[in-house]
Amino acid sequence: MKTASGEYICKGSEGAILVLPEGAIQEETINKGRFEELAKLRGVEWYEYAKFRGRSISNGSLYLVTAFTRCAQWGIAVFDRPCDPGEGLTFVSHRLGWTGSSAFPIRVADPDQGDIFNQCVFLRGYKIMIRPDIFDKLPTRQRAQRLRGGGGTDILSRMKKTLIGESPLTRTTKPTVTKSDEVILHANFNSPPVRGALGC
């Protein structure tokens, strides 16, 4: 809650503040249906690509962003309990910072970044999941191993092992699943990227 003096205090069990002293801009795609169809058609392939590239990814962790909110300056604070008397926070926009209690986590945008609206504070779009049975069967990239120190010591024996399939480098096969009924979309996720800045 913001008091008449401009101080923010928390009366509930927890709370958060996002201050945008210079306002923000929002951009959103006009035709979300086309993006939804693309995600249904290619969702399995996108997960397959991420896993094959060696990314540690879980089902439901891919997002198709269709809107964002950006600002030039921001300040955030989190309350993890009700404020005691005198523990409020006041946002100071002329030097971009917070004054008041040091009992709560606070962050601000880099004051040297200027007035360019390049700080993303919200993302919206689709959270993409695929059927668990398909996700579990997706190939992952095998770690390459050195050929040096193998069964033979000369180049010919190493080439022979590679050609007849005894190489420590393994191949993966890709399943051919691309049907749109294998992809589950959760529309209108709303994710504040600045949350990670607080370690929440």
- CA dihedral sign, ordered 194, 190, 120, 183: positive
> Considering the entire predicted model, what is its pTM?
0.60
Q: What is the pLDDT of residues 7-30, one digit of tens each?
A: 777 788 888 888 888 899 999 999
Q: Residue 126 burial (CB < 10 Å; 0-12/13-18/19+)?
A: buried
End-to-end CA distance of the chain: 21
Closest-CA residue to 183 (of 29, 30, 47): 47
Q: What is the pLDDT of residues 143-165, one digit of tens each?
A: 555 555 555 455 445 444 544 44
What distance in Å separates the CA atoms of residue 125 and residue 136, rounded to the nearest whole number? 25
Query: Residue 97 — very low, low, confident or very high, per pLDDT cuts 50/70/90?
Result: low
Instruction: Answer whether residue 94 shows pLDDT above 90.
Output: no
Strand ranges inside 56-165, DSSP E: 62-71, 75-79, 89-92, 97-100, 106-108, 119-130
